[in-house]
Amino acid sequence: MKVAVLSGGVGGARFVRGVVDVAGEHAVTVIGNVGDDVEVLGMHVSPDLDSILYVLAGLNDQERGWGRAGETWNALDVVRELGGADWFALGDRDPRPPPVRTQALRAGEPLSAVTARLAASLGVETRLLPATDDRLRTWLDTPAGSFPFQEWFVARGHRDEVDAVRFEGADAARPAPGTLGALAEADLILFAPSNPYVSIGPILAVRELREALAARRVPCVAVSPLIAGRAVKGPADRMLRRLAGGTSPSHVAGCYAGLVDALVVDEADAEDLDGLGDVRPVVTRTLMRDADARRRLAEVALGAVPA
């Protein structure tokens, strides 16, 4: 069985780990979000791709929930001491992919090729592809103005309500090599319980990827990022309330209209399954508190629609 998973960063990576544990590392291709990518201190950072890499390599910090285990912040202290931009928490071990990645990108290597190399050097066998090699950046329109993703999310602590999400560069962005093939070859497509607007949205903004998903001949199953109508972490619930008008399973499914056949929802949201239309609800416990819970959720998602 071949599986393609669309994923954002930390929340998505946890789910991807479960899917890889259940389906096998060679059965899975991950298509990752690059709308969060940012240039910090002259370096190209791909936070979502790195979150997935660290989790698949077993290098992620479990307690903090993001970044690498055993991280130190000496370089950032020096940046601060020198009055440099210290708003983006780049750890001493974290920048290892950025300088390597930045140098390769400047030399003309596509992001997909650099990502494959980083994955191989970390011992990750699962294929991880950026949605696109082209420049695609998420912007948020808010009452306080328009901000690039990381400025809104990190520097402003995603406190501004979001009126609209835009994807700079999406019109011209081509799918990265391997992504269309992975979708065409997959027996099953999964959307991780990532933020629909700012993690899965930028992937769907690549026109040919969206068209391939709309024309799929295999089931596509999304997992809701909400439990009892609330995000486990981050702004997904606030965004859904303001942009979709609510936080029920049908509001989540509405973000993926025409693209998914089933939505895995938490038991805590099972009371309100109206308005799902053709999308089949699959109710289970969705909190990935540990490896077992991750695997159980992956098993449910993998078995949600009879192949």
Rg of the chain, C-alpha, whole Å? 18
Among positions 3, 12, 111, 229, the unique one binding ligand GDP when judged by CB under 6 A? 12
For residues 23 and 49, which CB has a smaller minimum distance to Ca ion in the complex? Answer: 49
For residues 74 and 130, which CB has a smaller minimum distance to ligand GDP in the complex? Answer: 130
Q: How far is the CB of 22 from Ca ion (least distance, A)?
A: 24
* Site mask for ligand GDP (CB under 6 A), range 41-80, x = bound: -------x--x-----------------------------
For residues 173 and 298, which CB has a smaller minimum distance to ligand GDP in the complex? Answer: 298
Pick left, alpha or beta for residue 72 (phi over 0 → left; psi -120 to 50 → alpha; otherwise beta): beta
Contact 128, 49 (CB under 8 A): yes
Site for ligand GDP, residues 266 to 305, rule: CB under 6 A: 286-288
Q: How far is the CB of 296 from Ca ion (least distance, A)?
A: 24
Site stretch for Ca ion (CB under 5 A), options 41-49, 93-101, 156-164, 223-231? 41-49
Q: How far is the CB of 213 from ligand GDP (least distance, A)?
A: 18
Contact 276, 250 (CB under 8 A): yes
Q: How far is the CB of 11 from ligand GDP (least distance, A)?
A: 2
Between β-strands 188-191 and 220-223, what pairing exists: parallel, antiparallel or unpaired? parallel
Q: Which residues pair with 31 in a beta bridge?
A: 6, 129
Q: Which residues contact 88 (CB under 8 A, 6 or more apart)?
A: 38, 40, 45, 150, 154, 155
The helix-helix angle for 10-23 and 291-302 (nearest 10°) equals: 70
Classify residue 83 as exposed, middle or buried by CB count within 10 Å of its CB (0-12, 13-18, 19+): exposed
Tell me how far apart the alpha carbons of residues 162 and 159 are, in angstroms, rounded to a whole number: 9
Tell me how far apart the alpha carbons of residues 301 and 280 are, in angstroms, rounded to a whole number: 12
10 interacts with ligand GDP by CB under 6 A: yes
Q: How far is the CB of 86 from ligand GDP (least distance, A)?
A: 20
Contact 91, 76 (CB under 8 A): yes
Q: How far is the CB of 107 from ligand GDP (least distance, A)?
A: 28
Tell me how far apart the alpha carbons of residues 199 and 220 are, in angstroms, rounded to a whole number: 17
Q: How far is the CB of 195 from ligand GDP (least distance, A)?
A: 4
9 interacts with Ca ion by CB under 5 A: yes
* Site mask for ligand GDP (CB under 6 A), range 220-249, x = bound: ----xx-x---xxxx-x-------------
Contact 155, 85 (CB under 8 A): no
For residues 112 and 194, which CB has a smaller minimum distance to ligand GDP in the complex? Answer: 194
Among positions 5, 8, 204, 222, the unique one binding Ca ion when judged by CB under 5 A? 8
Distance of CA 241 to CAs 8, 78, 139, Å?
A: 20, 41, 19
SS3 260: coil
Among positions 18, 97, 193, 249, the unique one binding ligand GDP when judged by CB under 6 A? 193
Q: How far is the CB of 96 from ligand GDP (least distance, A)?
A: 19
Q: Residues in the site for Ca ion, rule: CB under 5 A?
A: 8-9, 36, 48
Q: Residues in the site for ligand GDP, rule: CB under 6 A?
A: 7-12, 14, 48, 51, 192-195, 199, 224-225, 227, 231-234, 236, 286-288
